[in-house]
Amino acid sequence: MENRIRHFTYAFPTPFQLTGMDEICAAGDYEVTTEDESIGNFVLPAYRRISTTIYIPPPAGRPGIGQVVQIDPNQLTGHVLKPS
């Protein structure tokens, strides 16, 4: 089976810095991606999380493509998951 990849948008109401980030990021909406792998041939699908990343765009007015940072998904607790 293929890995399951899901994209979410999280709203951060204040500037934030998560483990793995070098800088403090501005408040706003950020894309978070999770990747899970199948853990067997069960009657119902079962998955195990293998990565969670957040896309940090370049600062306003600066050229660039931004960066993708691997984060601890537990640090997203308390932030608002926005509908896609």
Q: Give the pLDDT of residue 28.
A: 93
pTM above 0.85, yes or no: no
What pLDDT was estimated at residue 1? 65
Q: Please give the Cα distance from 61 to 48 (Å, whole number).
A: 39
**Is 55:66 a contact under the CB 8 Å cutoff?**
yes
Give 9's contacts (C-beta < 8 A, 6+ positions apart): 29, 30, 31, 32, 81, 82, 84
Longest distance between any two alpha carbons in the chain, whole Å: 51
How many domains does one find in the chain? 1
Per-residue pLDDT of the chain (84 residues; tens, 9 = 90+): 689 999 999 999 999 998 888 889 999 999 999 999 998 877 888 899 999 999 999 877 888 888 999 999 989 888 888 876
**Quick one: pLDDT at residue 63?**
84
Give the Cα separation of 60 and 50 in Å (integer).
31
Task: Provide the residue range defining the domain that includes 63.
Answer: 4-82
